Each structure stands twice: as structure tokens, then as C-alpha cells.
């Protein structure tokens, strides 16, 4: 089978490329990525020479480029990770989120329709459900929870989900959607909570924590997310949405304290900063559907995954250094891609 993986130079897409290429040496994979600030070719460096992998630089909103690629490659399956993904950036500049996260999805699906693709999979987020109150630990997001977004980021992802379901109903496009909780693991850009705290704590810098750090996130190791998407794409039913999460709820302050403990750094580094506007209080996924219908199970607990992730960040200083210095952005000038 031939896969198009969009956004594969980002955090989750990059891990997914590694995961799939190793697991399925007889399938082939084309990665299409615009290489925004979040795209990093150094994440893909180890797999660029694999015979079943090809990288193409391009924007999913570029109708001509996308159409030519579909025509040339004859894809069976399209998995869309490409998106602007940082909530704080969506508050500063919403427009690019609407372009990449909505128009990009429409552009891809139009060609999926035109070229008779077997499956379009949209990588979505639990943030489309809004948030849950802190004093109701009995509540979880199910696939039936109404969409109720808080940020321009989550509104753009929810809009895309609605469009995906509309293409299924109107054009019978074979689609699936996964809505996953917060991911952590290797190759995550250090603007997100876990790699940011690991980086700053190692340098004995102040650790900014929004509000009182009470917000609860439901953490899933990125490789567990990858195994869920792999399963949905191969065994999931057309037109279905699958929530993905591992019941690993932690307050932000607990996450920060865990990282400090593993790195043997003092809690005095923690600094509380003014809360993010519209900050969601609690996310918590009920993954019963994917567990029961597809037999998915996460491998990592948060306690094992966080230690491994801290170790990855400590061991991969070069990758992080190039992100910090901006050196990773020059990758295309330094190397020729296939
Ligand atoms: N990070 C999380 O915790 C999380 C959780 C649930 C769902 N998601 C979703 O998973 C997907 C991937 O998230 P991530 O954390 O890896 O994001 P990321 O920001 O690390 O990576 C996004 C990638 O998409 C590329 N990209 C952005 N706009 C593009 C465009 N218009 N055309 C082509 N490429 C483009 C970027 O260059 C980058 O490589 C997103 O759709 C996000 O909404 C993320």
C-alpha cells in the first residue's frame, strides 16, 4: 500500500513515519510537509535513505502541487497530521490556523475524492470537546460529547472534523477521525509544556507555569498515538470517530514536579505566570470505543513514558540545540532531498 503522510516533519507525524517505516517495510510512504517553524528535517534524518520513504516539501493548501502529487504517486491512504498546532500562537495569529487546518483539509479531501483514495484519516484532537470541570472527575469525553471549542486552534480543528464528516456524508468519501489527548515523547518542539520544562530545568532556568498549574491534561505517549492511528486506518470503520487516550490525567504542576524530581532539580525554579486567556481546565478521554472495537491498548504508563522522554531530551542535545539556534531551518540548504 502507498501512504501519503502530511505534516510528517512535525512531532507526531515524524514519530509516525519512523514507526510505520520500521513496521511495514513492504508499504511505501511519501511525506508532504511545508516545513513551517514546527517542521524539522533532522527528525526524519535517520529514515531519509530508506527505499520505501520519500520527502516532498510543500503546502497542503497548494492545490496544484497536491493534485500533481496525487496524480504521480497513486496513493491508497492519506493521513493528515499537517496543522498549525500551538494554542498560544493561534491566539496571536488565528488566520494561518484557518488556512492550514481547514482549507488544507479541504484541498486534500478534494483530491482524495478525485483519485478514489481508499481512506482519508484526519488526525484531530480532544480539544474540539472544550474542557471539563475540575470538580467532576467522573466526566470524560466520549465520541458523542458535543463540540465546544475554546481557542482559535481548537475551533479550526473542529471545523476540519465537521468538513471531514460532511465529505463522508455528501460524497461518500471513506474517512476516519482520531481525537487524541495531549502527546509527549521524542522530537517534540520545546514550545510545548514537557520539552520546555525539561530544557529549562536542565539549564536551571525559571519554569513558567500558567495560573496555579491546576489545569489537568490527559497524557499519551506519542508511540501509543501512532499505534492507534495505524489500527484505525487499517481496521476502523468508514465515517467513524475514535477517541484516543490512556487515562493518564495529571495537573500541569504535577507534571513539572515529576520532571524536576527525575532531573534532581529544586521546585524553587517554578514560577507561576499570568494564565492563558480561555485556558481549558481539564481534558479527559474515554477510549472505550477504540479499545472495544479495535482492541487498541496503550503500552506506556505516564511514569515510564516521562522518564524515557526526559532521557531522550538529555541524550539528544544536538537536535534540541539546532531547534533553539534555528539551525534546523537551514536543513534543506545543507542537504539534497530525494
Ligand atoms: N501535540 C499534541 O499533543 C496533539 C494532540 C492531539 C492531536 N494533535 C494533532 O496532531 C497533528 C500533529 O501535531 P504535532 O504536535 O505533531 O504538530 P507539529 O506542530 O509538531 O507539526 C505540524 C507539522 O505540520 C507541518 N505543517 C503545518 N502547516 C502545514 C501546511 N499548511 N502544509 C504542510 N505541512 C504543514 C509543519 O511543518 C509540521 O511539520 C496536528 O493535526 C494536531 O492538531 C496534536
User: Mean pLDDT, the chain, as a whole number?
Assistant: 96
Closest CA to 104 of 87, 88, 122: 122
Catalytic residue among 33, 127, 161, 280: 127
pLDDT in tens, 194-218: 999 999 999 999 999 999 999 999 9
Q: What angle do CA 319, 308, 28 make, to 5 degrees?
A: 65
Give residue 286's pLDDT: 98
For residue 166, what pLDDT band results from cuts at 50, 70 and 90? very high
The verdict on whether 127 is a catalytic residue reads yes
DSSP label at residue 28: E
Give residue 185's pLDDT: 98
Name the phi and psi angles at 320, rounded to 5. Answer: -70, -40
Give residue 335's pLDDT: 65
Give residue 191's pLDDT: 85
Q: Region 82-102: what's the mean pLDDT?
A: 96
> What percent of the chain is modeled with pLDDT above 70?
98
**Ligand 1 atom, smallest distance to 126 CA:** 6
> What percent of the chain is modeled with pLDDT above 90?
93
Give residue 208's pLDDT: 93
Q: Region 6-15: what's the mean pLDDT?
A: 98
Instruction: Please provide the CATH number assigned to the domain covering 2-188+218-249+282-303.
Output: 3.40.50.720
**Ligand 1 atom, smallest distance to 220 CA:** 3
Strand partners for 123: 178
Give residue 327's pLDDT: 87
Alpha-carbon distance 60 to 63, whole Å?
7
Q: How would you class 92 by CB atoms within 10 Å of its CB: exposed for 0-12, middle for 13-18, buried for 19 or more?
A: exposed
> Domain residues of the chain, as ranges?
2-188+218-249+282-303
Give yes or no for residue 116 having a pLDDT over 50. yes
pLDDT in tens, 172-186: 999 999 999 999 999
| Span from the CA of 226 to the centroid of ligand 1 (angstroms) | 14
Give residue 337's pLDDT: 46
Catalytic residue among 33, 84, 131, 153: 153
Name the phi and psi angles at 110, rounded to 5. Answer: -60, -40
Q: Region 303-322: what's the mean pLDDT?
A: 96
Lowest-confidence pick of 15-19, 157-161, 316-320: 316-320
Give residue 322's pLDDT: 93
Give residue 331's pLDDT: 80
pLDDT in tens, 14-54: 999 999 999 999 999 999 999 999 999 999 999 999 999 99
Do β-strands 28-33 and 53-57 pair in parallel, antiparallel, or remain unpaired? parallel
DSSP label at residue 298: -
Best residue among 10, 55, 58 to mutate for probing ligand 1's pocket (most ligand atoms within 8 Å of CB) is 10
pLDDT in tens, 237-296: 999 999 999 999 999 999 999 999 999 999 999 999 998 888 889 999 999 999 999 999
Query: What residues does ligand 1 touch, defined as CB less than 6 Å away?
Result: 6-7, 9-13, 33-36, 38-39, 59-61, 81-85, 100, 104, 123, 125, 157, 180, 182-183, 189
Give yes or no for residue 338 having a pLDDT over 60. no
Neighbours of 73 (CB within 10 A): 17
Catalytic residue among 33, 111, 126, 280: 126
Give yes or no for residue 311 having a pLDDT over 90. yes
DSSP label at residue 103: I
Amino acid at each position: 500500500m502507498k501512504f501519503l503522510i502530511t505534516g510528517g516533519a512535525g512531532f507526531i507525524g515524524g514519530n509516525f513515519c519512523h514507526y510505520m517505516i520500521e513496521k511495514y517495510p513492504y508499504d511505501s510512504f511519501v511525506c508532504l510537509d511545508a516545513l513551517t517553524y514546527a517542521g524539522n528535517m533532522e527528525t526524519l534524518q535517520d529514515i531519509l535513505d530508506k527505499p520505501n520513504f520519500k520527502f516532498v516539501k510543500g503546502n497542503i493548501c497548494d492545490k496544484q502541487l497536491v493534485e500533481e502529487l496525487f496524480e504521480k504517486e497513486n496513493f491508497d491512504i492519506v493521513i493528515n497530521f499537517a496543522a498549525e498546532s500551538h494554542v498560544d500562537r493561534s491566539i496571536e495569529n488565528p488566520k494561518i490556523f484557518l488556512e492550514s487546518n481547514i482549507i488544507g483539509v479541504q484541498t486534500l479531501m478534494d483530491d482524495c475524492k478525485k483519485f478514489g483514495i481508499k481512506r482519508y484519516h484526519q488526525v484531530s484532537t480532544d480539544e474540539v470537546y472544550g474542557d471539563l470541570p475540575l470538580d467532576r472527575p467522573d466526566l470524560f469525553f466520549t465520541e458523542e460529547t458535543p463540540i465546544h471549542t475554546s481557542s482559535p486552534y481548537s475551533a479550526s480543528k473542529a471545523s476540519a472534523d465537521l468538513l471531514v464528516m460532511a465529505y463522508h456524508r455528501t460524497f461518500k468519501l471513506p474517512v476516519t477521525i482520531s481525537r487524541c489527548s495531549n502527546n509527549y515523547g521524542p522530537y517534540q518542539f520545546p514550545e510545548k509544556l514537557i520539552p520546555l520544562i525539561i530544557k529549562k530545568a536542565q539549564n536551571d532556568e525559571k519554569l513558567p507555569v500558567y495560573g496555579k498549574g491546576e489545569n489537568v491534561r490527559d497524557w499519551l505517549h506519542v508511540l501509543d498515538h501512532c499505534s492507534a492511528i495505524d489500527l484505525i486506518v487499517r481496521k476502523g470503520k468508514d465515517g467513524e470517530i475514535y477517541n484516543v487516550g490512556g487515562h493518564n490525567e495529571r495537573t500541569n504542576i504535577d507534571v513539572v514536579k515529576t520532571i524536576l524530581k527525575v532531573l534532581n532539580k529544586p521546585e524553587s525554579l517554578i514560577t507561576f505566570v499570568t494564565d492563558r486567556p480561555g485556558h481549558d481546565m481539564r481534558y479527559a478521554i474515554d477510549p472505550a470505543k477504540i479499545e472495544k472495537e479495535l482492541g487498541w491498548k496503550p503500552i506506556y504508563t505516564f511514569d515510564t513514558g516521562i522518564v524515557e522522554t526526559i532521557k531522550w531530551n538529555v541524550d539528544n542535545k544536538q537536535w534540541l540545540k539546532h531547534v533553539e539556534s534555528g539551525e534546523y531551518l537551514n536543513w534543506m540548504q545543507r542537504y539534497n532531498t530525494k
